[in-house]
Amino acid sequence: MARRRGGTQPAPLTQRDVLDAALRVVERGGLDRLTVRAVADELGVTPPAVHYHLRGGEDLADRVVEAVAADIRIEIDPAAPWVDQYVGLVTAMDEAFRRYPGTGIRALTASRPSAAAGRLTGTALSILGGAGLPEPAAVELFTATYLLFTGWLAARGLMAAGGTHPSLAAAGMTGPGLDDLSTLERALRRVLATVPAAPPVADRIDPAGQARPALTEESRT
């Protein structure tokens, strides 16, 4: 049915309307079910009305993924151990991507620049820098956890489709384990536990007698 606002005149369709409808489609059926027609049906309009706000179907999926990533809530407790901060960030990402199936693996394997992805990456590197890791070590650890999380999303997506990768099956990992967030948390903590503890502030003194601050995102620029 036609969208209406107030009286009997059809309400003008906006880009926000299209995005919100696309998010509802993905939330119910996953990114694979996202089409212009599905969004048009959700809005009660014809496909050309949706196309008017898009540059093509590919752009629609990109907008959904960016919106999901941008909406991830980053709540970092500066008093918490850095490992807990890092695990909290990754699990917040996982919860958002779980709500909108298919968006996570697309976000982590996209080749286009993304403001939302840059925000998440910057936060992760800031946590690692705050732990006292030098920049090369922070980048290396970020890369390792990025690869771990990408594999997690891919394996869980396969499980949602009714399958398990043969390599995981041979190792004894079954569907329920891939659907349990604690599995991801344990894996992350094992990787992060390989990092030597940062020296106390008192041990990080420069020749002038000043404590050297931990590396942060701002200090890199």
Poorest-pLDDT segment among 79-83, 153-157, 164-168: 164-168
Query: Is residue 7 in a domain?
Result: no
Mean pLDDT of 39-50: 94
Are both 117 and 181 inside the same structural domain? Answer: yes
Are both 78 and 172 inside the same structural domain? Answer: yes
Average pLDDT, the chain: 82
Q: Report which of 176, 34, 149 is spatially closest to residue 90, judged by C-alpha positions.
A: 149
Range of the domain at 63: 15-68
Are both 51 and 114 inside the same structural domain? Answer: no
CATH number, domain with residue 51: 1.10.10.60
Residue 54 pLDDT level (bands cut at 50, 70, 90): confident
Are both 99 and 136 inside the same structural domain? Answer: yes
Are both 152 and 197 inside the same structural domain? Answer: yes
Are both 62 and 133 inside the same structural domain? Answer: no
Query: Is residue 8 in a domain?
Result: no
pLDDT at 105 over 90: yes
Residue 57 pLDDT level (bands cut at 50, 70, 90): low
Q: What is the dihedral of CA 150, 166, 164, 87, to 10 degrees?
A: -30
Residue 197 pLDDT level (bands cut at 50, 70, 90): low
176/24: higher pLDDT: 24
* pLDDT value for 150: 94
- The DSSP letter of residue 201 is G
- What angle do helix axes 115-130 and 57-70 make, rounded to 10 degrees? 30
* Residues contacting residue 175 through CB under 8 Å, at least 6 positions apart: 159, 164
How many domains are there within the chain?
2
